[in-house]
């Protein structure tokens, strides 16, 4: 039983890591988009 629980914990941890990476990536992309928009505003 403890082996199953350990496996589930590992699986859950890897899923959370993937989600966190995706979230951080999307945040950085959105942040760079915002910076580009701000730069355009300055140019205009």
What would the pLDDT profile of 1-33 be if each residue is shown by its tens digit? 688 999 999 999 999 999 999 999 998 998 888
User: Is residue 13 situated within a structural domain?
Assistant: no
* Residue in 4, 23, 1 with CA at minimum distance from that of residue 12: 4
DSSP, res 8:
H
User: Is residue 27 situated within a structural domain?
Assistant: yes
What's the predicted TM-score (pTM) here?
0.59
Q: Which domain holds residue 29?
A: 20-44
Could you give the number of structural domains in the chain?
A: 1
Radius of gyration from C-alpha coordinates of the chain: 19
User: Is residue 30 situated within a structural domain?
Assistant: yes
Query: Which residue carries 């890897």 as its tokens?
Result: 14
């Amino acid at each position: 039983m403890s082996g199953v629980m350990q496996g589930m914990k590992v699986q859950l941890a890897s899923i959370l890591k993937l989600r966190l990476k995706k979230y951080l990536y999307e945040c950085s992309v959105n942040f760079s988009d915002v910076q580009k928009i701000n730069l355009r505003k300055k140019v205009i």
